[in-house]
């Protein structure tokens, strides 16, 4: 089997694991009502800053606006530091200046950024695995807590209305 097939297999496995894990339980620091976790959007950009701290990881990325040609700053939130480190993240997971393709649950208010679902590096490797991220297939992770249940119900209601 050549290297490209191996690489593709590893990436596919990583994506599958990331989706399986992400479809479940969220952390409890805040409500995720500001994100549309039923949708996943993808952009490509350049890492400006990677901040692996608590209570949430932040990844700041320059993304070129195709309409204006200007570089805009996007902010992507992730899980807590220890939760991500348990899945192999560390201070060197991303480097300033690195090119990434990022999938995220967008902010409902339209600002640039959202909740990180996964990041694909230039070599094809996939970084993901935050259980709070919605996979973007119309479902959101199951969580305990009244606000999270309400978010789930609101998403299901929207889905029903779209079907009609």
Please state, in angstroms and rounded to a whole number, the distance separating the CA atoms of residues 88 and 69: 35
Give yes or no for residue 38 binding another protein (CB under 8 A).
no
Is residue 13 at the binding interface for another protein, with CB under 8 A as the rule?
A: no
3-state helix, strand, coil in the chain (%, to 5): 25, 30, 45
22 binds another protein (CB under 8 A): yes
Q: How many residues bind another protein (CB under 8 A)?
A: 55
Residue 86 near another protein by CB under 8 A: yes
Q: What is the 3-state secondary structure (H, E, C) of 109-163?
A: CCCCEEEEEEEEECCCCEEECCCCCCCCCCCCCCCCCHHHHHHHHHHHHHHHHHH
Min dist. Cβ of residue 115 to another protein (A) = 10
The least distance separating another protein from the CB of residue 42, rounded to whole angstroms, comes to 19
Q: Least separation, in Å, of the C-beta of 78 and another protein?
A: 12
User: Three-state SS for 75?
Assistant: strand
46 forms part of the interface with another protein (CB under 8 A)? yes
Q: Which of these segments, 6-14, 106-114, 120-128, binds another protein (CB under 8 A)?
A: 106-114
**Should residue 62 be labelled a site residue for another protein when binding is judged by CB under 8 A?**
yes
Q: How far is the CB of 105 from another protein (least distance, A)?
A: 12
- Report how far apart, in Å, the C-alpha atoms of 129 and of each of 1, 137, 141, 144 are: 27, 16, 12, 19
């Amino acid at each position: 089997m050549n290297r490209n097939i191996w690489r593709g297999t590893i990436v596919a496995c990583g994506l599958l694991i990331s989706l399986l894990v992400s479809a479940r339980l969220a952390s409890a620091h805040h409500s995720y009502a500001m994100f549309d976790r039923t949708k996943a959007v993808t952009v490509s950009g350049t890492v400006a800053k990677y901040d692996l701290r608590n209570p949430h990881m932040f990844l700041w990325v320059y993304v070129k606006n195709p309409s204006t040609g200007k570089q805009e700053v996007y902010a992507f939130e992730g899980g807590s530091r220890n939760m991500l480190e348990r899945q192999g993240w560390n201070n060197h997971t991303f480097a300033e200046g690195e090119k990434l393709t990022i999938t995220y649950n967008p902010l409902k208010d339209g600002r640039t950024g959202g909740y990180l679902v996964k990041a694909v590096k230039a070599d094809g490797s996939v970084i993901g695995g935050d259980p709070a991220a919605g996979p973007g297939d119309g479902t959101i992770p199951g969580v305990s807590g009244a606000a999270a249940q309400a978010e789930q119900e609101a998403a299901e209601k929207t889905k029903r209305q779209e079907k009609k």
